[in-house]
């Protein structure tokens, strides 16, 4: 599943290929994604210029030269790539944004849990975005922010940092990895962690996500590859998926528990 680093990598990967270009047409072969693609999206986008490609949480935002912004979510299996208009679409290539220079931004999604919506609202007021917490890599995301929100919370710290109202983009893999780096047990109560430890955790979340984005950067050329599925990358993981293997710090066995139905990995010696 594309997580925040993949979406950020996608954002950086497609931006130089479509910014400043004029949309000639939008071809929809399958409009039934997680939600139906916005009615009249092709008519409303034709002739508009993409001024910028941005990201908020896991939404890619194609900002046009009008009030309209395209919001793309990759869902469970979505991906975007840049192809030439002459390349015939494959089975799961559901949507093409065709530009006047024959560049195509092509949306592929085998499981169809993604979404493509058009909004004329200021993006921060959109109902899918307005209640979201800060971006983890922004200056607005700090240990103090987590600490202040955590007061009296009985939820477990792993669920707490995965809650997008508190901070966006900390998916299951990155929650496990950040908690390991910070030395915090994933099942510790959120409301019982000190400010100092939250400051360390916030720094670790930034490092883990930044490293993932940098690793993804090496796959940027794949966005113009006409074969295959671009943008998802394997990264080196310290605890996630390593049940029974030796901890990289202390050689204890990595343990696995379920927290809020999600597999969680930790070292009981290194994480308290």
- Catalytic (active-site) positions: 2-3, 58, 262
**Residue 245 binds Zn ion, judged by CB under 5 A:** no
Instruction: Retrieve residue 105's tokens.
Output: 């931004």
247 makes contact with Zn ion (CB under 5 A): yes
Contact status: 267 vs Zn ion (CB under 5 A): yes
CB of 267 to Zn ion, least distance (A): 3
Phi, psi of 62 (to 5 degrees): -95, 105
**Number of residues engaging Zn ion in binding (CB under 5 A):** 7
Q: Establish if 35 lies at the interface with Zn ion (CB under 5 A).
A: no
Could you tell me the smallest distance in angstroms from the CB atom of residue 247 to Zn ion? 3
CB nearer to Zn ion: pick between 65 and 252: 252
Residue that has been written with the tokens 């940098």 in this structure: 214
Please choose, out of 56-64, 70-78, 92-100, 252-260, the segment that lies near Zn ion by the rule CB under 5 A.
252-260
CB of 270 to Zn ion, least distance (A): 3
Q: Which of 50, 32, 143, 146 is nearest to 99 (CA)?
A: 50
Closer of 58 and 158 to Zn ion (Cβ)? 158
How would DSSP label each residue in 195-250?
Answer: HHHHHHHHHHHHHHHHHHHHHHHTTGGGGG-SSS--S------SSTT-TTSBPTTT
What single DSSP character describes residue 80?
A: E
Q: Helix 4-18 and helix 195-217: axis angle, to 10°?
A: 40
Could you say whether residue 246 binds Zn ion (CB under 5 A)? no
> Considering the rule CB under 5 A, would residue 95 count as an interface residue with Zn ion?
no
Q: Which of 194, 186, 189 is nearest to 170 (CA)?
A: 186
The reply on whether position 249 binds Zn ion by CB under 5 A is: yes
Question: Is 250 among the residues that bind Zn ion (CB under 5 A)?
Answer: yes
- We find the least distance from the C-beta atom of residue 197 to Zn ion, in angstroms, to be 17
Alpha helices in the chain (DSSP H): 4-18, 41-45, 143-150, 157-162, 172-182, 195-217
Please give the residue ranges that form the binding site for Zn ion (CB under 5 A).
Answer: 247, 249-250, 252, 267, 269-270
């Amino acid at each position: 599943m594309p997580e925040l680093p993949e979406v950020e990598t996608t954002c950086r990967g497609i931006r130089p290929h479509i910014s400043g270009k004029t949309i000639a047409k939008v071809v929809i072969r399958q409009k039934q994604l997680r939600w139906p693609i916005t009615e009249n999206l092709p008519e409303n986008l034709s002739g508009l210029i993409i001024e910028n490609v941005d990201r908020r949480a896991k939404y890619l935002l194609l900002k046009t030269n009008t009030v309209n912004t395209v919001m793309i979510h990759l869902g469970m299996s979505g991906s975007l790539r840049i192809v030439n208009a002459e390349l015939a679409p494959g089975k799961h290539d559901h949507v093409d944004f065709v530009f006047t220079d024959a560049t195509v931004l092509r949306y592929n999604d085998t499981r169809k849990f993604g979404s493509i919506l058009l909004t004329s609202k200021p993006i921060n007021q959109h109902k899918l975005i307005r209640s979201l917490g800060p971006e983890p890599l922004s200056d607005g995301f700090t240990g103090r922010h987590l600490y202040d929100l955590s007061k009296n919370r009985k939820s477990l710290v792993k669920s707490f940092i995965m809650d997008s109202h508190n901070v966006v983009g900390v998916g299951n893999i990155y929650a496990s990895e950040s908690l390991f780096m910070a030395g915090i047990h994933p099942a510790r109560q959120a409301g019982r962690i000190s400010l100092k430890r939250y400051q360390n955790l916030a720094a670790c979340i930034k490092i883990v996500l930044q490293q993932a984005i940098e690793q993804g950067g090496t796959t940027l050329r794949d966005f113009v590859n006409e074969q295959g599925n671009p943008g998802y990358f394997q990264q080196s993981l310290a605890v996630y998926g390593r049940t029974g293997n030796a901890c990289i710090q202390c050689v204890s066995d990595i343990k696995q528990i379920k927290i809020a139905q999600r597999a969680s990995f930790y070292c009981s010696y290194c994480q308290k």
